[in-house]
Amino acid sequence: MAGVRHVWVRPAFVPVELPGLVLHWRPTDDGWQGLVTYIDRDGRTVTEWLPAANLRPIKSAPQTGSAYG
């Protein structure tokens, strides 16, 4: 796994997916983990290591509202 990308984050004990950004990947004994930054449901910025199983790639580019992308 490599690269920085936009993902859907499934934090523990949260019933919804939240948009996030993977900053870095690392291999562990239990599989890959991503260092992810996302905004939680209370509006706080969270950066934490999460298992790859809790992350799902966002297929489309984010909409910026600009004609230039």
Which of 24-28, 35-39, 46-50, 63-67 has the least mean pLDDT? 63-67
- What is the residue-wise DSSP string for the chain? --S-EEEEE--TT-SS-EEEEEEEEEEETTEEEEEEEEE-TTS-EEEEEEEGGGEEE--SPPP-SSTT-
Domain 5-57 indexed as CATH 2.30.30.140: yes
In the chain, the percentage of residues whose pLDDT exceeds 70 is 80
Instruction: Tell me what pLDDT residue 69 has.
Output: 46
